[in-house]
Amino acid sequence: MAINKAAALVILGAAAACPMIRFAVFMAEINHELGFQPVNGFMFDSAPASEPAPMETAHPQPRALQQSPEFARALMACGQDPVTLDGTLVLQRRLPGGLRLMMVNRADLSDPAPLITALRSSGLHRSPLILSPETPAPQLALFGAVPLTTPAHAALWDLSQDAGQRRAALHQKWRNRLKHGEAQPLRLTRQNLPHDVRHWLFQADAKQQTLRGYRSWPIGLTLAYGRENKGQAKLFQAFEGKEPVAATLILTHGSTATYHIAHTTARGKQLSAHPLLLWEAANWLASKGVSRLDLGLINTEDAPGLARFKLGTGAKLHRLGGTWGLWQPLGRLLRPLSWLDRRLMNS
């Protein structure tokens, strides 16, 4: 993912004394998810290195987790104060001194005008805004938004087909690992997420985050999601005897689900527990009417094994809209920059 350093530097130069802008650019440079990486690092290398062509985006698209009412409920339970403007979930963060940063993540901004109007009507347009659209939105430049990072890709797994069609779409190596897992004496379970900060999956994921140098949701937010959305945080586990060897936590929201946290032990890798667990989870989701499983961002540089694992399911690449910065009080100053490097967002 490339960063528009020129635009960021000019923003900083225009308001060098303002911590809001420095913080906004910093947040945009962290990653497309603004610090929330939905799934942990490498598990095993089981699918092709080549990437399929990006899927065509159908309209209307199911909402991403970050734009769901379920996510909003979890945030509010944790003391956050998101607002919904023209159907778009807008997050707020208070900076030192009481200054406010606004963030919109994975929203449909094919027409940004209603959101921009709603921000102005509510008086929120005076705050700097970080925008990460669900799909490429070069029209944001018309409103003075400045591109900060190039678009990332997410892996979306279509669950609307029957199990036979989904199995046929698996990459051969992935299908072989699944067959191997199906032949093992593993016991699979499904339950609602226990409200337990000491659950072994959280502990394993915390160690993995430290080892791999990434950041996921705070445990409290994940627990709040399960608490505020009954039955929509499903924990799938694989056991060898009484010993857990793999776990996958899936969050459902409307007709869509998101692959949130997963971990497999060394023994679980030997038993191919993770592909078996994800396969069975996908079948169960499909039986409940879920049509799409969002497997999260694809990062071929830092986590190539995980990228191959996700794409090996037959999931398609979905191009997101990059990250943009907008501060309407500086609109006239920043407008020339919004056109300076549009190729960054369209390449």
Domains defined along the chain, listed by start: 5-39+83-152+321-346 (no CATH), 154-319 (3.40.630.30)
pLDDT of 52 reads 37
Backbone angles phi, psi at 49, to 5 degrees: -75, -25
Residue that the structure tokens 């095993």 belong to: 44
| Cis status, amide bond into 69, omega within 30 of 0 | no
* C-beta of residue 244 within 8 angstroms of C-beta of residue 97: no
Residue 303: predicted pLDDT: 86
Q: How many residues does the chain have?
A: 347
Residue type at 222? T
Of 74, 275, 321, 266, whose CA–CA distance to 179 is shortest?
275
- CA–CA distance, 290 with 205 (Å, rounded to integer): 26
**Does residue 185 contact residue 283 with C-beta atoms inside 8 Å?**
no
Both tokens of 96, joined, read 């030192």
Per-residue confidence (pLDDT) for residue 95, from 0 to 100:
81
Do the Cβ atoms of 236 and 188 come closer than 8 Å? yes
CA 8 from centroid of its chain's CA atoms = 24
Q: What is the pLDDT of residue 215?
A: 84
Separation CA 46–CA 309 (nearest Å): 6
Q: How many CB atoms lie within 10 A of CB 63?
A: 21
Taking the alpha carbons of 143, 144, 150, 154 in that order, is the dihedral positive or negative?
A: negative
CA 152 to chain centre: 10
- pLDDT at res. 94: 85
Each of the 347 residues of the chain gets a pLDDT tens digit; together they read 555 554 544 443 443 334 433 433 334 333 333 333 333 333 333 333 333 344 444 444 689 999 999 999 999 999 999 999 999 999 998 888 878 899 999 999 999 999 999 999 998 988 999 999 999 999 999 888 999 998 999 999 999 999 999 999 999 999 999 999 999 999 999 999 999 999 999 999 999 888 887 788 999 999 999 999 999 999 999 999 999 999 999 999 999 999 999 999 999 999 999 999 999 999 999 999 999 999 999 998 888 999 999 999 999 999 999 999 998 776 655 555 555 555 555 55
* Helix locations, 156-314, DSSP H: 163-169, 172-182, 200-212, 219-228, 266-270, 273-287, 304-311
The tokens for 167 are: 């199995």
